[in-house]
Amino acid sequence: MLILSRKVGESIIIKLGTNHVKMTILESNNGTLKLGFEAPKEIKIYRSELYEEIVNQNKASLIDDVIEAANLFKNEVPKNFSPKYKNIDLK
Amino acid sequence: MIENFDTKLGNVKIDTDKIIDFEYGIPGFENLTQFALLQPESTFPIMWLVSLEDKDVAFPVILPQLIRSDYEIILPEDITDYLQLEKPEDAVVICILTIPHNKEDITINLAAPVIISLRNKKGLQLLIESSEYKIRHYLKDEIERNNQLLSVQRDGG
């Protein structure tokens, strides 16, 4: 891991191909740092715990047995529950 | 052009025009970009977002309004630009289910819906930072909530 020390008001630049992200330390308060990011729109910035939670949930969503899963679900959802619902046509 | 693909749901014929390009991958599966949305009657209302590159990867998905009739998200402009969306009907919004062997524990991910563009066949999983929508909503709770909501709507008019 690369380790850099920065003071409030200082920043770092992360270069990704032809893009770059500039991260600035805006404020430091009792161990909490407030960070500002300047990045092109296509670069998404997330709190890592949120991103990792979605990764873990996606992995947990993979199904072993398609029919078993569908039946478990059907038993939980009342039959008359479906609102306006039709197949999606990806024309 | 119709091609055969091996998927979690078996060998299926897919019109290559209907292949969805997840250019940026799905978190945890960044190396997979080619998906199809399969809608077999036998598993209705569950649909399957299946990888055409790894036959072990298939996500069970449903339209979120099936269990949360007031589900609503606002797409940021960079997303609508990327997906070339001009109106809400240009997009399909689906949510991934987690279905463990114990049905009590079925959850739906309302915080990270999958958005598919009918305009350019691109797809992505959007991460919404919201206090309302969470990564795990128990199906049981959602059905109860929705029943209450629908009965209020009925009584109110």
Q: Give the one of A42, A72, A88 whose C-beta lies nearest to B103's C-beta.
A: A72
In a domain, A3, yes or no: no
Mean pLDDT within B65-84: 91
Contact (CB, 8 A) for B10 and B36: no
- ipTM of this predicted complex? 0.92
Residue A35 domain boundaries: 11-78
What CATH number did the domain enclosing B143 receive? 2.30.290.10
A70 Cα to chain B: minimum distance (Å): 5
Does residue A38 lie in a domain region? yes
Span A26-54, pLDDT tens digits: 999 999 999 999 999 878 899 999 999 99
Kindly indicate the confidence band of residue B149, based on its pLDDT and cuts at 50, 70 and 90.
Answer: confident
Is the pLDDT at B66 greater than 90? The verdict is no
Put simply, the answer to whether A62 touches B39 (Cβ < 8 Å) is no
Record the pTM.
Answer: 0.89
| Of the partner residues B26, B127, B136, the one whose CB lies closest to the CB of residue A50 | B127
Q: Contact A76/B140, CB-based, under 8 Å?
A: yes
Query: B73 CB near a chain A CB, below 8 Å?
Result: no
Within 10 angstroms of residue B21's Cβ, the number of other Cβ atoms is 15
* Cβ contacts of A45 within 8 Å, gap of 6 or more: A21, A37, A39
State whether residue A1 sits within 8 Å of chain B by CB.
Answer: no
Q: Please, what sign has the CA dihedral across residues B10, B40, A75, B149?
A: positive
pLDDT for res A64: 85
Cα Dmax for chain B = 51
Size of interface A-B (CB pairs under 8 A): 121
Q: Mean pLDDT, to the nearest integer, of B101-114?
A: 93
Among B125, B105, B8, B6, which Cα is nearest to B60's?
Answer: B8
The number of distinct structural domains making up chain A is 1
Identify the domain containing residue B148 by its residue range. 2-155
Using CA atoms, how far residue B56 sits from A64, A66, B53, B94, B106, in Å, is 8, 11, 9, 20, 20
Instruction: Write the residue in A41, A62, A67 that is nearest to B57 by C-beta.
Output: A62
- Number of domains present in the structure of chain B: 1
In a domain, A4, yes or no: no
Q: Is B125 exposed, middle or buried (0-12, 13-18, 19+ CB in 10 A)?
A: buried
**B116 pLDDT above the threshold of 80:** yes
A50 within some domain: yes
Query: Is A67 contained in some domain?
Result: yes
B156 pLDDT higher than 90: no
Q: Assess if residue A70 is contained within a domain.
A: yes
Sort out which chain A residues have CB atoms less than 8 A from B29's CB and list them. Answer: 58
Residue A69 forms part of a structural domain = yes
- Better-scored residue on pLDDT, A90 or B123: B123
